[in-house]
Structure 1
Amino acid sequence: MCTFALQQTARDSQDKFVPEIIEKLTDNVYVDDCLASELNEEKAVSTVKELTSLCSEGSFRLTKWISNSSTVMKSIPPQERAKDVKDLNLDCEDLPSERALGVYWFVQSHTLGFTIKSKLKPDTKRGILSVVSSVYDPLGLMALFILISKQLLQNLHHEQKDWDEDVDSKTHKIWLKDLTLLEDIHIPRCYKPMEFHLFVDASNVG
């Protein structure tokens, strides 16, 4: 219902705002997060103001703003900024990390990354599945790494291992050791104007 009301606000306000701003609201809001990008700071400052005004047309309040630009952040009233930047000295202090849709955005370096909360789990099929499922990767950035442990689970299933049967797997132990290293990987959020080529071959396992 909330999403419908937000979309209806955009439709009802088409005569008051430029199509680009309407599109920002209709195409860049996920649940309660608005994620939008601009090519320069001046445009970003304008977008913040216009989006705030557009949302207020439907009695929605956009708040908890954060940007990798201190210029943009200075244009936003402190009370409307994200919690960790409200009292930040934007002239000399680094911007913090922020979670968006479960992915960590390291604002200062403008990169995406992971924070791993590794808890000891039993070396069983159930324990392995629990650890694998704890790595939240909706963009598939770590798919190749996670695939290793998924292959292990697949093999354990073929071996008809019980969910709570002890598993002595060197592969899993190495994988667990490497898991914490994911925190050292930061991926540039913006890929423009780079060009990518992808080559894929079929596989029986993934």
Structure 2
Amino acid sequence: MELEHTRVVFGVTTSPFLANRTLKELVKDEGAKYPLAARALNEQTFVDDILTGAKSKSEVLELKNQLIDLMKAGGFNLGKWASSNNDVVGDLTESLELPIGNSKSITKVLGMFWDKAEDTFQYEVNDVNEPATKRGILSRVARTYDINGYLSPFTFLLKSMIQKLWLLKIDWDDPLPDDLHEMWVLIKSQLLLLEEIKFPRYMCGAEISPCMLIGFSGASIMGMAAVIYLRVKSEGNYMVHLVASKTRVAPLKTLTFPKLELGAACLSSRLMNATIEALKSFINLADIFCFADSSSVLGWLKTPPYKLKTFISNRVVQIHENVPDVRWSYVPGKFNPADPANALLAVEALIDNEELVAVKALVAVQPLKALEALIAVEA
């Protein structure tokens, strides 16, 4: 006797795939009738959240109606609506997203909190009473969900602590060594400061003009980091926004510093490739720059791979495959925004970092010319 499910079952191994495959099939069958909704389901859906928008209120209302009709065609009813414009969800009062805490304007989105009134993303920290043990630190790492890497300097600090604890072979509930205990106490004392960090949800300004992606990579003996900025022109002014960042702790097998820098460049190329894929259908991308603070890495990138040793050659090939049309240039280390991401920065430094503010001002002007000027000054 064979039995067949007539519903998408929750809790089994295949559930996430089946839920997403069901939506893909719905778009395939009915999407031609609802083009705006089909695009949102195909490109702007994360698990069971549809994160989408449009340039004007009228377009958003049309998108909303198409989403409702398309999902109904498959027997689905959308709930928990939220928007930065109250008129968009005014007729959906029974299915609005529940507010968070005492604020009626804050909604949880992918581990972050969206303040609809200010249209910004922010973080909320609860329960800072984890014990000073490996189990407590790992619990904090697991609960710090930072999908875009906005908190990379902070999360890198936690990851480096975990690596040290594993190297010391400390048991799960054993007390920490004095140096790590002091670091953990400092981190806990500053956790609530994360709530002061805010990032704009919308980055393109009033009019969508040709945009520029600017990537930086950097490394230290502790690890590697990459950061991507979006530069846009709006109403005659240039704005620069942090799009994403990634960090990796250094491997246990000791690598030379130039090889760590090459690993950071490879990490930057992968992050840039993912960013381009995510944004290419929504923005007019005019140019792409990548910067590194290692002259060795830039020399390797200009060398035919067959002339390089295997370790270096493989990564150079990966970089060129990930970002084939990108111009790589040098940036002095003190002006490299990827460096703080792999340094052991306190949360206070993450909130108010004067060097990062200076870098954002520089890339808002003209990245290559501004940094070439800096190089001349450094020389």
TM-score (norm. length: structure 2): 0.48
One-letter code aligned to 1:3: N
Conserved in 1, the CA contact under 8 Å of 2:128 and 2:191? no
Question: 2:217 is matched with which residue?
Answer: 200
Which residue of 18, 21, 46 maps to 1:4? 21
For residues 94-173 of structure 1, the aligned pairs below 5 Å read: 95-167=104-176, 168=178, 169-173=181-185
Q: Go from structure 1 to structure 2 and tell me whether the alpha carbon gap of 1:15 and 1:126 turns closer, same or farther (over 3 Å shift).
A: closer
Which residue of 26, 35, 58 maps to 2:74? 58
* Residue 125 of structure 1, CA deviation: 2.1
* Residue 136 of structure 1, CA deviation: 1.6
One-letter code aligned to 2:57: E
Question: 2:94 is matched with which residue?
Answer: 79
| C-alpha distance in structure 1 between counterparts of 2:185 and 2:110, whole Å | 29
Conserved in 1, the CA contact under 8 Å of 2:81 and 2:92? no
More divergent stretch after superposition (153-162 vs 97-106): 153-162
| C-alpha distance in structure 2 between counterparts of 1:80 and 1:149, whole Å | 38
* Residue 24 of structure 1, CA deviation: 1.3
Which residue of 201, 209, 213 maps to 1:189? 201
Q: Go from structure 1 to structure 2 and tell me whether the alpha carbon gap of 1:150 and 1:72 turns closer, same or farther (over 3 Å shift).
A: same
| C-alpha distance in structure 2 between counterparts of 1:195 and 1:113, whole Å | 25
Structure with bigger strand share is 2
Question: 2:43 is matched with which residue?
Answer: 27
Conserved in 1, the CA contact under 8 Å of 2:98 and 2:107? no
1:102-159 CA-to-partner distances (Å, cap 9, x unmatched) read: 2211111111111111242222222222222221212211111121122222223333
User: What is the RMSD of the two structures over their aligned residues, measured on CA atoms?
Assistant: 2.2
Q: Secondary structure at the match of 2:216?
A: coil
Larger Rg: 2
* Residue 198 of structure 1, CA deviation: 2.9
* Residue 35 of structure 1, CA deviation: 0.9
Which residue of 43, 49, 74 maps to 2:65? 49
TM-score (norm. length: structure 1): 0.84
One-letter code aligned to 1:99: K
* Residue 61 of structure 1, CA deviation: 1.0
One-letter code aligned to 2:58: E
Structure 1 vs Structure 2: percent identity of aligned residues?
27
| C-alpha distance in structure 2 between counterparts of 1:81 and 1:153, whole Å | 40
| C-alpha distance in structure 1 between counterparts of 2:31 and 2:134, whole Å | 54
Conserved in 2, the CA contact under 8 Å of 1:95 and 1:108? no
- For structure 1, the residue ranges without an aligned partner over 5 or more in a row are 86-93
Q: Go from structure 1 to structure 2 and tell me whether the alpha carbon gap of 1:160 and 1:12 turns closer, same or farther (over 3 Å shift).
A: closer
| C-alpha distance in structure 1 between counterparts of 2:158 and 2:31, whole Å | 49
For residues 86-97 of structure 1, the aligned pairs below 5 Å read: 95-97=104-106
Q: Secondary structure at the match of 2:87?
A: helix
Conserved in 2, the CA contact under 8 Å of 1:116 and 1:182? yes
Aligned residue pairs: how many? 196
| C-alpha distance in structure 2 between counterparts of 1:121 and 1:164, whole Å | 12
Conserved in 1, the CA contact under 8 Å of 2:36 and 2:66? no
| C-alpha distance in structure 1 between counterparts of 2:81 and 2:152, whole Å | 30
More divergent stretch after superposition (167-176 vs 51-60): 167-176
